[in-house]
Amino acid sequence: GAVVSQHPSWVICKSGTSVKIECRSLDFQATTMFWYRQFPKQSLMLMATSNEGSKATYEQGVEKDKFLINHASLTLSTLTVTSAHPEDSSFYICSARDRDSRGDTEAFFGQGTRLTVV
């Protein structure tokens, strides 16, 4: 299957700092990327849908000013957690859809980023 690379795989940052997470589609172009958050032993919760060249669509309850999403190219979307606090500690994972795929095919996931805010 197609490859989605997410970086970094883990990060520890101090409270109040910002952290950027990258999601890259390595062998396909992705017009749409999704960002999810997962707390321990819980399900994936969609945070936002990122469309290339336009503003991201955030799910209800997700602060757009805190979780900045940029999708400047067909192969890269970034999630920046601004002014991070300990409650932002979580597992963040992205997925991407192949622009040329049929509508009913899978979304490919990155490896995920484990964020710890201390």
Partner 1 sequence: AQKITQTQPGMFVQEKEAVTLDCTYDTSDPSYGLFWYKQPSSGEMIFLIYQGSYDQQNATEGRYSLNFQKARKSANLVISASQLGDSAMYFCAMREGIGGGNKLTFGTGTQLKVEL
- Is residue 103 involved in binding partner 1 (CB under 8 A)? yes
Q: How many of the other CB atoms lie within 10 Å of CB of 15?
A: 12
Per-residue binder mask for partner 1 (CB under 8 A), 24-63, x = binder: -------xx-x-------xxxxx--x-x------------
User: What single string gives the DSSP state of each residue in 15-82?
Assistant: TT--EEEEEEESSS--SEEEEEEE-TTS-EEEEEEEETTSPPEEPTT--TTTEEEEEEETTEEEEEE-
Which residues, other chains included, contact 102 with Cβ-Cβ below 8 Å and sequence gap of 6+? none
Q: Which two tokens stand for residue 61?
A: 């309850």
CB of 16 to partner 1, least distance (A): 26
- Is residue 101 involved in binding partner 1 (CB under 8 A)? yes
- Is residue 74 involved in binding partner 1 (CB under 8 A)? no
Among 5, 29, 82, 111, binds partner 1 (CB under 8 A): 111
- Is residue 107 involved in binding partner 1 (CB under 8 A)? yes
Residues that bind partner 1 (CB under 8 A): 1, 31-32, 34, 42-46, 49, 51, 91, 93, 95, 97-99, 101, 103-112, 114
